[in-house]
């Protein structure tokens, strides 16, 4: 069984899933990863900003490595591959075994965030009832799993047919047809490896192979950077090229490869300078349409340009932003937070989902900030809004946010189908549950900037005790 962790966004609602969407198209990660590591390695938002490659070239799977020329290189390559788990072909499984596998996933990891009062005792009774009779066909087994998951009363927990699950394996957040994974070596150092390749995609055609270590992108060393940050460096306009320095295997050689990008990376950041009517204050207005792999880089550029133009206050517009990459939301929040500030908490039955994400950098700006929100500000956007609000860095203006703060994991079953299970939820720095509640703004209409400064100052004093 393979499992992927996915940050939940508004687009995971049953209606939106009529087309395979949500943060998926992931590389297969064949073990249960911690939230932190998974977000860094493969933080994804499905269907928001990527155009899949043609179907003939879009199956994301390991590519056979070149046959080594010597015993020493073979040994080196074998050592290297111990750090990369290769997805295997589906095993033969009985219909009853398939249903039991799906049942067990729920029993181990499902987090009931509704009012159904789910319990393992009642879930055990359901299994006994379901498996009391022989299941004759695979189609019937799939239907049983669908009904079993539907009985949980969670709109985000659902079954994926083999066809739907296969489409999820086409995700590429780099634009060159690779997925990256952070691997810790024996010295405790983090290295970035190519986890999966799109066969005949740009990187594969240029000579990149599974297990290769990424050393630099366009002469920028990637040591110490997350998979998310490096994926952002790899992205760019369709038809442009990116130069990757990589090491084949554990022992080299090191090679620089030029790869042509094959999808259009659209910036989600729009900005302009405005001036208030009452005084000469310069306002830097920034709108984020979505949170994708480009958003942090482009937001930094926008803020620096607005500062150079004389902006003394900033407005961050998150209205109608349905979310996207959770890691992008976390990185955006860190741009405004002090080192040590809590960005978000996660909660779940499994200890790996009981985490605190903390800012590890100093803020890019310290100017007063207004964040515009409405009832379509959701998921990762709510993480940004709550982090800035609860840490007294921003005043929220507008309407109560949507209230989507769940975490789902996608598990592959042995016949190539899959299940999406709610396994955790997000809690704000002030320990408020986002899901189903949303975030209440401080003002419905934009206040005077003096009022903004006073509100933030009062918030800071109360927070410090």
Half-sphere exposure of 144 (CA within 13 A, CB side): 24
Dist CA 118 CA 130 (whole Å): 17
For the record, the structure tokens of 36 come out as 């932190």
- Assess contact for 380 and 402: CB atoms under 8 A: no
Q: Which of 400, 430, 404 is nearest to 326 (CA)?
A: 404
Q: What is the CA radius of gyration of the chain?
A: 23
Cβ-proximal residues to 147 (8 Å cutoff; 6+ apart), any chain: none
Active site residue 404: yes
Cβ-proximal residues to 162 (8 Å cutoff; 6+ apart), any chain: 415, 416, 417
Give whole-number Cα distances, 332 to 185, 290, 326, 387, in Å.
29, 12, 10, 10
Element (H, E) at 356: strand 355-358
Q: How many helices (H) and strands (E) does the chain have?
A: 12, 18
Q: Which of 129, 141, 128 is nearest to 95 (CA)?
A: 141
3-class SS of residue 61: strand
Active site residue 409: no
User: Cα 279 to chain center, whole Å?
Assistant: 41
Strands 220-221 and 369-373: unpaired
Helical residues (DSSP H) of 319-409, grouped into ranges = 326-334, 380-390
For the record, the structure tokens of 303 come out as 């803020």
- Assess contact for 372 and 318: CB atoms under 8 A: yes
The single residue of 32, 334, 404, 425 carrying the catalytic annotation is: 404
The single residue of 379, 381, 409, 417 carrying the catalytic annotation is: 379
Local structure of residue 85 (DSSP, 8 states):
P
Give the active site residues.
379, 404
């Amino acid at each position: 069984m393979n499992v992927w962790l996915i940050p939940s966004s508004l687009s995971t609602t049953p209606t939106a899933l009529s087309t395979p969407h949500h943060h998926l198209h992931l590389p297969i990660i064949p073990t249960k990863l911690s939230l932190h590591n998974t977000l860094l390695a493969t933080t994804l938002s499905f269907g928001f900003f990527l155009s899949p490659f043609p179907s003939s070239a879009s199956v994301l799977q390991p590519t056979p490595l070149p046959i080594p020329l010597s015993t020493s290189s073979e040994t080196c390559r074998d050592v290297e591959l111990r750090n990369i788990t290769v997805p295997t072909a589906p095993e033969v499984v009985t219909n009853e075994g398939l249903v039991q596998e799906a049942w067990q996933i729920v029993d181990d990891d499902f987090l009931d965030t509704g009012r159904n009062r789910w319990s393992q005792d009642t879930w055990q009774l359901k299994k006994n009832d379901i498996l009391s009779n022989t299941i004759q066909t695979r189609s019937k087994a799939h239907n049983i799993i669908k009904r079993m998951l539907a009985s949980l009363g969670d709109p985000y927990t659902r079954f994926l047919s083999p066809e739907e699950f296969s489409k999820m394996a086409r995700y590429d957040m780099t634009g060159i047809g690779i997925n990256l994974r952070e691997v810790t070596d024996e010295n405790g150092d983090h290295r970035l490896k190519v986890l999966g390749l799109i066969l005949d995609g740009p990187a594969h055609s240029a000579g990149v192979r599974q297990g290769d270590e990424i050393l630099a992108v366009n002469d920028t060393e990637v040591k110490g950077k997350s998979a998310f940050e490096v994926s952002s460096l790899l992205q760019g306009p369709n038809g442009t090229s990116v130069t990757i320095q990589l090491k084949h295997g554990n022992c080299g050689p090191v090679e620089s490869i030029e790869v042509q990008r094959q999808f259009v990376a659209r910036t989600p950041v729009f900005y302009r300078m405005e001036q208030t009517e009452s005084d000469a204050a310069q306002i830097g207005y920034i709108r984020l349409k979505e949170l994708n792999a480009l958003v942090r880089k482009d937001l930094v550029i926008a803020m620096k340009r607005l500062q150079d133009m004389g902006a003394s206050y900033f407005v961050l517009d998150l209205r109608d932003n349905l979310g996207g990459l959770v890691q992008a939301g976390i990185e955006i929040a860190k741009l405004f937070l002090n080192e040590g500030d809590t960005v978000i908490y996660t909660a779940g039955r499994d200890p790996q989902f009981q985490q605190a994400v903390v800012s590890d950098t100093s803020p890019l700006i310290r100017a007063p900030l207004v964040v515009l929100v409405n009832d379509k500000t959701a998921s990762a956007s709510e993480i940004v809004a709550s982090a800035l609000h609860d840490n007294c860095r921003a005043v929220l203006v507008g309407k109560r946010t949507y209230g989507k703060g769940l975490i789902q994991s996608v598990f592959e079953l042995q016949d190539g189908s899959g299940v999406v299970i709610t396994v955790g939820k997000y809690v704000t720095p002030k320990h408020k549950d986002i899901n189903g509640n949303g975030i209440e703004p401080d003002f419905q209409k934009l206040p005077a900037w003096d009022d903004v400064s006073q509100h933030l100052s009062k918030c800071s004093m109360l927070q410090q005790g």
